[in-house]
Chains A and B, each alone.
Chain A
Amino acid sequence: EIVLTQSPGTLSLSPGERATLSCRATESVTNDYLAWYQQKPGQAPRLLIYAASSRATGIPVRFSGSGSGTDFTLTISRLEPEDFAVYYCQQYGSPPQTFGQGTKVEIK
C-alpha cells in the first residue's frame, strides 16, 4: 500500500500569510490521483483539490495544488480566518486508497 507522509505536522501562521503543505508518497501515485481535504472540528472533510491540481466546485482560488509522482503540495496563498483547520492528502489511484496523517494549520 502507498504510504503518504505529510509535513509539517503543525504549521503556525498568521492570517494573510502563505501556507505550504507537503505530501510525499512511498511510490508514484497512479495518474496523479491525489486529493486534498480540509477538516474542521466536528465536521466531515471537505474536498479542496483532486487529481493533484484541480480545484473542487466552490473552492476559493487561494487554494492551489501542485506536484506529480511522489511529491505534492497544497498552497493557500493568503490565509483567511476560516482556513485554520486540519488538512489531509489522499491517494486514490491505487487500492487501497490511503490518507496522510494530516497537517494542522493553527493561528500564530
Chain B
Amino acid sequence: QVHLQESGPGLVKPSETLSLTCTVSGGSITSSYWSWIRQPPGKGLECIGYIYHSGITNYNPSLKSRVTVSLDTSKKQFSLRLTSVTAADTAVYYCARDFGRDWGQGTLVTVSS
C-alpha cells in the first residue's frame, strides 16, 4: 500500500505563493502519475493538476497560469506551487496517486493576512 504525506505551511498571506510537498512511501514513484486535489471547506473536490514520472504535467485550465507541479524521484517527493493566492484558495490540499487510488490525509491551507 502506497502511503502519501503532505507537508507545508498552514497559513499563507494573500498574493504570496503556496508551496506544498508530498512524500511517497511504500511504492515506486516511477510507476504512476501524481496528483494534487483540493477541497474548500464544506465544498466539493477540484483537481489541480498532476505529473507523470517522465515530467509531463497536466493542469486544470482554471488554475494553469498559477500552478506548477514538480517531481523529485530521488527524494520520492512531488510538490505544488500556487502563486498569487487569494482567500478563494483556502482549502484542504490532498496529494494522491494516479487519479485517486491512494490519498494523503490532506493539509488545510488558509490564505489570510
Chain B residues whose C-beta falls within 8 Å of the C-beta of A11 in the assembled complex? none
- Quick check: which of A19-27, A68-76, A94-102 contacts chain B, the rest being far away? A94-102
Known pairs A1-B61, A95-B58, A96-B60; A88 contacts B99 (CB<8 A): no
Are B45 and A88 within 8 A (Cβ)? yes
User: Considering the chains assembled together, what is the distance between the CA atoms of A33 and B101 in angstroms?
Assistant: 13
Interface SS majority for chain A: loop
Looking across the interface, which residue of chain A has its beta carbon closest to that of B61?
Answer: A96
The closest CB in chain A to the CB of B62 belongs to A96
Residue pair A47, B101 in contact (C-beta under 8 Å): yes
A residues near B72, Cβ cutoff 8 Å: none
B61 in contact with A35 (CB, 8 Å): no
Q: Which chain B residue lies CB-closest to A102?
A: B44
Summarize B's interface: helix, strand, loop or mixed.
loop
Contact A97 B106 (CB under 8 A): no
Interface residues of A, CB < 8 Å — how many?
22
Q: How far is the CA of A33 from the CA of B99 in the complex (A)?
A: 10
Contact string against A for B residues 72-113, beta-carbon threshold 8 Å, 1 for contact and 0 otherwise:
000000000000000000000010001111111110000000
Instruction: Please name all residues of chain B whose beta carbon is closer than 8 Å to the beta carbon of A95 when the two chains form the complex.
Output: 58
- Return the contact of A50 from the options B44, B94, B101, B104 (Cβ within 8 A): B101
- Asked if A63 lies at the interface with its beta carbon under 8 angstroms from chain B, I say no
Check if B16 is an interface residue, CB within 8 A of chain A. no
B105 adjacent to A99 (CB under 8 Å): no
Q: Give CA–CA (A50, B101) in the complex, Å.
A: 9
* Chain B residue at smallest Cβ distance from A91: B99
Q: Pick the contact of A47 from B50, B60, B100, B104 — CB < 8 Å?
A: B100
User: Please, could you name 6 A-B residue pairs with CB atoms under 8 Å apart, sorted by A?
Assistant: A35-B99, A43-B105, A44-B106, A50-B99, A96-B61, A97-B99
Interface residues of A (CB under 8 A from B): 1, 33, 35, 37, 43-47, 50, 56, 88, 90, 92, 95-102
